[in-house]
Structure 1
Amino acid sequence: MKEFNHNNDPHRRYNPLINEWVLVSPHRATRPWQGQTEEVNQETRPEFDPTCYLCPGNVRANGEQNPAYESTYVFDNDFAALKQEELHFEENPDEFFFKAQPERGISRVVCFSPRHDLTLPEMDLETIENVVKTWQFQYEDLGKIDFINHVQIFENKGAIMGCSNPHPHGQIWAQSSLPTLVRKTQDNLSAYYQKHGKTLLENYLEQELEKNERIVIDNEHFVALVPFWAIWPFETMIISKRPVSKITDFTPVEVSDYAKTLKELTSKYDNVFNTSFPYSSGIHQAPTDAKEHPEWHFHMHFYPPLLRSASVKKFMVGYEMMGESQRDITPEKSAELLRSLSSVHYKAKDV
């Protein structure tokens, strides 16, 4: 009988964060990026766009005017997915098929820079550090509100990810409940911590560093890696080496190192196909429910959809929608490629 080889044979991998499996089919695409890099038409944007509702001094869709901001700028989303209004509601304990409940929350937009023409990897480290400090302030500010129990910081980069405005920005959705995936993560992290007395990601990161198969970036305070259970072709995760539960626990040195990691990783992404690499990214950290959460370990997910080129996207359809997530290129192969890429943004090489 043939011996199993995870580089060649179909297999499933377990994700302990959310207690789910992913099907890996490496024989379908051993090294799909070979010969696949391509030049694409680069969109040239001005430093300031008078028609952009996120640029400094411009009027937004609701008629409010942005200040002439020179660093990060945060405002309540004009088209918020969540509302602060408290509603009267009586739950029917006998309801099963048509169960619903109101959800309170606050949605904010975070402009990373006044420059309309930049993306995160093209910004200098000081600007990215300001973004991190803004995330810290917003997490703490929103977390103090009595009905807010979870603060989700995220960025959708690129039109392919549904981003409606190219100005560099992210969002924060703070709400009264733990979202479904966060609840699943919370339950698994808690169970692991109670059993082992350490965070799940602390032990996982220790073993990943020993194996050194999926590491992309490794500095004093952070590691960026392709998770063993990654779903998206070039999915990565940033994990703090120190098991802190939230972004406000970072020291000034860690803030600086985190900014360096963000710049280096996103630059590597852009260098894959010499294009502005789209992704959805988000921070996972402790709930803001006024309880201690030693089981939480700060980490940040990056989910880019591109697969073979700057224009070929990985779709989650068919089997993925009906069965479970599936990928062809192994996490080890995508980590190998990302690790080999320069940390200097391809545009900066021409300067």
Structure 2
Amino acid sequence: MNTQNLNQPHRRYNALTGDWILVSPHRTQRPWQGQQEKSAGDERPEYDPGCYLCPGNTRAGGASNPDYTAPFVFTNDYAAVLPDGSALGFEGNDLFRAEGVKGTCRVICFSPKHNLTLPEMPVDSIRAVIDVWAEETTELGKTHRWVQVFENKGSVMGCSNPHPHGQIWATDSLPNEPAKEEAAQKAYHDAHGSVLLLDYLAMELERKERIVEQNEHWVALVPFWAVWPFETLLLPRRHVLRLPDLTDDERNAQADILKRLLTRYDNLFEC
């Protein structure tokens, strides 16, 4: 691949979704006088009696948390999707279409300590979080088509509580982005007889231009088709279909690389 002209405006193809991404490298030199998010710089206590996620406290929905000492999971009191779903639906019109959705939303508290972030936790504690992610994926995957674990961090990203926690959502339908990624990977395999992300990873490791962190089992890199500033993609070095399929060593290595990668983000955003 000739990269000599990549400093000029161009489009990059996202092989995972089929989308084309506009890239304008020269615009990074423009002066910026817009808004800048400042670090809160607050000192949080290890336990906050007013926090509805801390051990022993009452949640917003009225239930009380146990005195948990490890990752704690509960059903979201204000879930985005509900198990009984909805009968909503418009039929016979191609311009106004809607349908009900069923699902489950759970919250995972990474740690009982209110003043930590995930990368500030010991590697073995992060490993415990990964194990819970895998367990929840297995359980919810039996009755739902899609299970996703994620974390919105910081108030600017819509996080309503600074206590270290994430979300686990399961739905009966496949969201847009995973659906496009599934179709693209199947089409690539049909055309080439190999795994798209493994082929892509091999090329990135050869170029060594966008590698952020790596260890024996994982590589964190900036994808060629990145849209967001500081966007990274975490890839296993072998073909793994689901979180529960990770070996013991791979889970330990994932905890290690998550700690290193997320520490970079914490330092970058001073959070």
TM-score of the superposition, structure 1-length normalised?
A: 0.72
**SS of aligned partner of 2:151:** strand
Q: Call closer, same or farther: CA 1:56–1:203 in 2, change over 3 Å.
A: same
Q: Read off the aligned partner of 2:213 and give its amino acid letter.
A: I
Q: CA deviation at 1:106?
A: 0.4
CA 118–203 in structure 1, closer or farther in 2 if over 3 Å, else same? same
2:202 matched to 1:206?
A: yes
Query: Any residues of structure 2 matched to 1:119-134 within 5 Å, and which?
Result: 119-134=117-132
The letter of the residue matching 1:220 is: E
Aligned counterparts, 1:142-291, within 5 A: 142-145=140-143, 148-272=144-268, 275-276=270-271
Deviation at 1:164, TM superposition (A): 0.4
Q: What amino acid is aligned across from residue 124 of structure 1 in structure 2?
A: P
Match of residue 95 from structure 1: 93
Paired residue type of 1:158: G
Question: Hey, what does 1:110 align to over in structure 2?
Answer: 108
With structure 2 as the length reference, what TM-score do the two structures score? Answer: 0.92
Partner in structure 1 of residue 24 of structure 2: 25
Q: Matched residues in 2 for 1:86 and 1:39: separation? A: 40
Flag the 1:31–1:122 CA change in 2: closer, same or farther, 3 A: farther
Question: Counterpart in 1 of 2:66?
Answer: 67
Gaps of 5+ in 2: 32-36
Mapped contact 2:220–2:234 kept (Cα < 8 A): yes
Distance 1:127 1:31, change over 3 A: farther
Q: Residues 85 and 103 of structure 2 are in contact (CA less than 8 Å); yes or no, is this contact kept in structure 1?
A: no
**2:34 alignment counterpart:** none
Shift in alpha-carbon separation, 1:257–1:96, aligned structure 2, 3 A: same
- SS class of match (1:157): coil
Deviations 1:270-300 (A, max 9, x none): 2235x01xxxxxxxxxxxxxxxxxxxxxxxx
Structure 1 CA distance for aligned equivalents of residues 166 and 108 of structure 2: 5
Q: CA RMSD in A?
A: 2.0
Shift of 1:107: 0.4
Question: What CA distance in whole angstroms lies between the structure 2 residues aligned with 1:60 and 1:270?
Answer: 27
Greater RCO (Cα-Cα under 8 Å, separation 6 or more): 1
Percent of pairs identical after alignment?
51
Per-residue CA distance 1:39-83 (angstroms, 9 max, x = gap):
956211000000101000000111100000001000000001111
Count matched residues: 264
Task: Report the residue type matching 1:20 in the other structure.
Answer: D
Cα distance, 1:86–1:231 mapped onto 2, change above 3 Å: closer
Task: Tell me by how many angstroms 1:218 deviates.
Answer: 1.6
CA deviation vs aligned residue, 1:302-323 (integer Å, no higher than 9, x gap): xxxxxxxxxxxxxxxxxxxxxx
Is the partner of 1:173 in helix, strand or coil?
A: strand
Q: Which amino acid aligns with 1:256?
A: N
Partner of 1:54: 53
Q: Distance in 1 between matches of 2:237 and 2:126?
A: 20
Of the three residues 133, 136, 153, the one matched with 1:135 is 133
CA contact (8 A) 2:90 2:96 kept: no
Structure 1, unpaired ranges of 5+: 33-37, 277-351
Q: Which amino acid aligns with 1:97?
A: L
Q: How far apart, CA to CA, are the structure 1 residues paired with 2:115 and 2:259?
A: 16
Question: Could you list the per-position Cα deviations for residues 100-134 of structure 1 after superposition, in whole angstroms to 9, with x for gaps in the alignment?
Answer: 11110000001000000000111110110011000
The structure-2 alpha-carbon separation of the partners of 1:86 and 1:4, relative to structure 1 and needing over 3 Å to count, comes to closer
Deviation string for 1:136-195 (max 9, x for gaps)?
0000010112xx100011110111100000000000110000011111111111111122
The whole-number CA distance in structure 1 between the counterparts of 2:158 and 2:43 is 20
**Rounded Cα–Cα distance in structure 2 between residues aligned with 1:192 and 1:73:** 39
Instruction: Write the distance in 2 (CA, Å) between the matches of 1:243 and 1:217.
Output: 19
Alpha-carbon distance in structure 1 between the residues aligned to 2:104 and 2:169: 6
Q: Is the 8 A contact 2:89 2:97 kept in 1?
A: no
SS at match of 1:29: helix
Secondary structure of the residue aligned to 1:156 is coil
Distance 1:82 1:130 in 2: 26
